[in-house]
Amino acid sequence: MKKILELDPSIELDPDYLAWKMKLLKLKKENEAMRSYFERIIDIAPGHLYWKNKEGVYLGCNLFMVHFYHFDSKMAVIGKTDEELWPHCAQALRENDRKVMETGETIIFEENVQGSTNRSVKMPLRDEEESIIGVIGNSVDISDLKKIQRELIEAREIAEAARMIS
């Protein structure tokens, strides 16, 4: 079988070729370093950072989300849908995603997942042509704040009731 592209062996000695090859290797190394840097930033970002395609399939997430929900790895999330990960609230999550994709706007939601209440900021995920191809979201657990809010409301109601009796 004949090779499709066969280089002249003398090209390996050509200084221009060597310079080009070194530049290409340097760019490849810089690109990998930048990709790794951004991945580390995403992994330590506060909250559950995730992105899904139009069909609701997770394309990626950060380690914060993996650890919070006790997944084994990112691969336990990637390729799955909300229906597969948390079926009890999937319909509400999917509806919020649809609103974002239909309006093309960033929207803030309060969402309940796995017993936690989250403040979710969701925005359209766009491709190079600015077409909406999914949703990117950052959800922060506000369960403790909601509990304090409920306790304050109860305390106020008790205080008002006591004042009425006096």
pLDDT at 4: 59
Average pLDDT over every residue of 79-93: 96
Average pLDDT over every residue of 99-126: 96
pLDDT at 2: 54
CA-CA distance, 31 to 52, in Å (whole number)?
24
CA-CA distance, 141 to 118, in Å (whole number)?
4
For CA atoms 121, 124, 127, 129, the dihedral sign is negative
The yes-or-no verdict on residue 135 having pLDDT over 90 is yes
pLDDT at 162: 84
CA-CA distance, 32 to 25, in Å (whole number)?
11
Of 5-19, 68-82, 121-135, least confident by mean pLDDT is 5-19
CA-CA distance, 32 to 47, in Å (whole number)?
25
**DSSP three-state, residue 116:** strand
The yes-or-no verdict on residue 8 having pLDDT over 80 is no
The yes-or-no verdict on residue 139 having pLDDT over 90 is yes
pTM: 0.76
CA-CA distance, 4 to 28, in Å (whole number)?
25
Average pLDDT over every residue of 79-106: 97
Residue type, 153: I
